[in-house]
Amino acid sequence: MQIWFLGTGAGRPNKQRNVSSIALQLPEPCSNWWLFDAGEATQHQLMNTPLKLSKLDTIFVTHLHGDHIYGLPGLLSTRSFDGGVTPLRMIGPRGLRRYIETVFEISGTTLDYELEYVELGEADGQLAYEDERFSVVASTLIHRVPCFGYRVVEHDQPGRLLADKLKQLGVAPGPQYGLLKQGQDITMQDGTVIYANDVTAPSLPGRVVTILGDTTPCANVLELAMGADLLVHEATFAAGMEEKAHLFGHSTTVEAAKAAAEAGARKLVMTHFSGRYHNENLLQLEEEAQTLFGAATAATDLTCIEIERRT
């Protein structure tokens, strides 16, 4: 599982940073990926990654400020040209559907695939998405417009089959392997029972990734980030600028670090930096956060991070 930072700037793009967008590459055997926000020129940033728009199947939107959604119409249109024909889920605040449909109506845009909308109410801990491998919970944050954070939870995966042990027990590859892999015990022709737990390695623990929209410090940040393997938290301003940050519904580096520490996250990646900070300032911003949380880093555009599984 990998996470790509397509845009790490706040408000407007500059020469070093594009505006907000994050891609989450799902683990094998999945070939699909998810997108969190799509600021202006997100599709341009994607050209610098191996991610294909035809494999994008879900977009999560944190809120409807322009630096998080102005890239959506062009990206959705290009997906048709890139061979995207499968339905695409759009999950986000109320008004998301009206925004997209209005732009497409006025511009005469048509798509070769269906858009499926899920508009979230302003509630905490609501299930935004679930399938056999993942669940995603959304909760409200404190910003100037309705805004959400998302907690992506990968379900634990069955351990691998111990092929050498199965061979010793006389179990030939085939349908019985599949049953054991699913955790079902099998009975051999001679009446011997092979217990699935005896011939499989321990299950693989699922990973937790928390991706927040714009926010000032609040209780739901901690709920969403509790025990996360990776927390993505905005850090629009440097330490000491808390009053200005809160005035505009944002956080500072030390507030992001404090949240990661209190939530027991394994790693913190800060993003959504004000245009007043250049990439040369990121080391200072990292050091501010690391005074409270050692595993803190500042993302730059096109940073790709592997999300390690707990052992």
- pLDDT of 311 higher than 80: no
Task: Kindly state whether residue 223 falls inside one of the protein's structural domains.
Answer: yes
Residue 143 labelled as part of a binding site = yes
**Tens of pLDDT along 250-278?**
999 999 999 999 999 999 999 999 999 99
Task: Kindly state whether residue 220 falls inside one of the protein's structural domains.
Answer: yes
Tell me: do 43 and 180 sit in the same domain.
no
Residue 68 labelled as part of a binding site = yes
Beta bridge partners of 129: 136
Sign, Cα dihedral of 18, 21, 27, 29: negative
**Tens of pLDDT along 195-213?**
888 888 888 899 999 999 9
Tell me: do 89 and 172 sit in the same domain.
no
| Parent domain of 31 | 2-157+204-306
CA neighbours closer than 13 Å in the CB half-sphere of residue 288: 18
Nearest to 294 by CA among 252, 255, 274, 266: 266
Nearest to 239 by CA among 201, 291, 174: 291
Annotated active-site positions, please? Answer: 67
**Tens of pLDDT along 48-100?**
999 999 999 999 999 999 999 999 999 999 999 998 999 999 999 999 999 99
* Single residue among 198, 220, 251 that ends a domain in this structure: 198
Task: Kindly state whether residue 135 falls inside one of the protein's structural domains.
Answer: yes
Tell me: do 180 and 230 sit in the same domain.
no
Task: Kindly state whether residue 139 falls inside one of the protein's structural domains.
Answer: yes
Count the domains in the chain: 2
pLDDT value of residue 276: 95
**Tens of pLDDT along 236-247?**
999 999 999 999
The CATH number of residue 251's host domain is 3.60.15.10
Task: Kindly state whether residue 174 falls inside one of the protein's structural domains.
Answer: yes
Residue 67 labelled as part of a binding site = yes
Residue 278 labelled as part of a binding site = no
Tell me: do 182 and 259 sit in the same domain.
no
pLDDT value of residue 160: 81
For residues 104-111, average pLDDT: 97
Tell me: do 85 and 213 sit in the same domain.
yes
Beta bridge partners of 167: none
Tell me: do 256 and 147 sit in the same domain.
yes
Tell me: do 141 and 283 sit in the same domain.
yes
Residue 65 labelled as part of a binding site = yes
Tell me: do 259 and 168 sit in the same domain.
no
Task: Kindly state whether residue 246 falls inside one of the protein's structural domains.
Answer: yes
Task: Kindly state whether residue 47 falls inside one of the protein's structural domains.
Answer: yes
Tell me: do 119 and 194 sit in the same domain.
no
Tell me: do 153 and 177 sit in the same domain.
no
Task: Kindly state whether residue 53 falls inside one of the protein's structural domains.
Answer: yes
Residue 233 labelled as part of a binding site = no
pLDDT value of residue 182: 76
- Give 188 or 296, the one with higher predicted confidence: 296
Tell me: do 70 and 150 sit in the same domain.
yes
Tell me: do 134 and 16 sit in the same domain.
yes
